[in-house]
Amino acid sequence: MLRAVVVAALALAASPAIAQDGAQLFNMQCRMCHSGSPMGPSLAGVAGGEIASKSFAYSPALKAKGGVWTDESLDAYLKAPTTFAPGTKMLVSVSNPTQRAAIIAYLKTLK
Name the residues that contact ligand HEC, by CB under 6 A. Answer: 29-30, 32-34, 39-41, 43, 46, 51-52, 54, 58-59, 61-62, 74, 78, 88-90, 92, 94, 103
Instruction: Give the rounded distance of the alpha carbon of 1 from its chain centre.
Output: 19
- The answer to whether the beta carbons of residues 84 and 77 sit under 8 Å apart is yes
Least Å from the CB of residue 46 to ligand HEC: 5
**Residue nearer to ligand HEC on the CB measure, 16 or 86:** 86
- How would you label 24-47 residue by residue, b for 16+ Cβ within 10 Å and e otherwise? bbbeebbeebbeeeeebbebeebb
Least Å from the CB of residue 62 to ligand HEC: 4
